[in-house]
Amino acid sequence: MKYIDEFRNRELAQGLIKKIVERSTRPVKLMEVCGTHTVNIFRYGIKELLPETVTLLSGPGCPVCVTPNETIDKAIALSREKDVILVTFGDMMDVPGSSSSLAKEKSQGADIRVVYSVQDALKIATENPKKKTVFLAIGFETTSPTVAVSLIEAEELGLRNYFILQGHKLIPPAMKALVEDENLALDGFICPGHVSTIIGQRPYQFLATQYKLPCVISGFEPLDILQSIYMLINQIEQDRAEVKIQYKRSVKEEGNPLALQKLYRAFQVSDSNWRGLGLIPGSGLKLRNEFKNFDVEEKFPIEVGEVKENPDCICGSILKGIKTPLDCPLFRKVCRPENPIGPCMVSSEGSCAAYYKFRQ
Ligand code: SF4
Q: What is the CA radius of gyration of the chain?
A: 21
The model's pLDDT over 265-295, given as tens digits with 9 standing for 90+, comes to 999 999 999 998 999 999 999 999 999 999 9
CATH number at residue 104: 3.40.50.11740
Query: How, if at all, do strands 112-115 and 278-287 pair?
Result: unpaired
Residue ranges making up the domain that contains 292: 66-170+255-299
In angstroms, what is the span from residue 166 Cα to ligand 1's centroid? 25
With 80 as the cut, is the pLDDT of residue 332 above it? yes
Q: Is residue 61 included in any domain, yes or no?
A: no
Ligand 1 centroid, distance to 97 Cα (angstroms): 14
Structural domain includes residue 15 = no
Average pLDDT over residues 6-15: 95
Contacts of 124 (CB under 8 A, 6+ apart): 85, 87, 113, 115, 133
State the pLDDT confidence band at 349, using cuts at 50, 70 and 90: confident
User: What rounded mean pLDDT belongs to the chain?
Assistant: 95
pTM of full prediction above 0.75: yes
Provide residues with CB under 6 Å of ligand 1.
313-315, 318, 325, 328, 330-331, 335, 341-342, 344-345, 352
Q: Is 136 inside a domain boundary?
A: yes
pLDDT value of position 360: 60
In this structure, is residue 264 part of a structural domain?
Answer: yes
Question: Does 156 map to a domain?
Answer: yes
Q: What is the 3-state secondary structure (H, E, C) of 160-203?
A: CCEEEEEEEECHHHHHHHHHCCCCCCCCEEEECHHHHHHHCCHH
Ligand 1 pocket test, pick from 58, 62, 330, 334 with the greatest ligand atom count within 8 Å of Cβ, gives: 330
Residue 120: inside a domain: yes
- Taking the centre of ligand 1 as the mean of its atom positions, its distance from the CA of residue 285, in whole angstroms, is 28
Task: Give the count of domains, the chain.
Answer: 1
In ligand 1, the atom with minimum distance to the C-alpha of 344 is: 7
Q: Whose CA is nearest to atom 7 of ligand 1?
A: 342
pLDDT in tens, 169-206: 999 999 999 999 888 889 999 999 999 999 999 999 99
Domain assignment of residue 353, yes or no: no
**Ligand 1 center from residue 330 Cα (angstroms):** 6
Average pLDDT over residues 117-124: 96
DSSP 114: E
Which atom from ligand 1 is nearest to the alpha carbon of 352?
6
Q: CA-CA distance, 203 to 196, in Å (whole number)?
A: 9
pLDDT at 162: 98
The H or E element spanning position 283 is strand 278-287
Q: What is the pLDDT of residue 269?
A: 98
Please name the helix (run of DSSP H) or strand (run of DSSP E) that holds residue 237, with its range, or none: helix 222-237
pLDDT value for 2: 81
Contacts of 236 (CB under 8 A, 6+ apart): 26, 28, 187, 188, 214
Task: Please give the distance, rounded to the nearest whole angstrom, from the Cα atom of residue 69 to the centre of ligand 1.
Answer: 14
| Separation between Cα atoms, residue 259 and residue 223, nearest integer Å | 28
| Cα–Cα distance for residue pair 159/125, rounded to 1 Å | 8
Residue 279, in any domain of the structure: yes
Q: What is the DSSP letter of 285?
A: E
- The residue among 121, 136, 67, 62 whose CA lies nearest residue 96 is 67
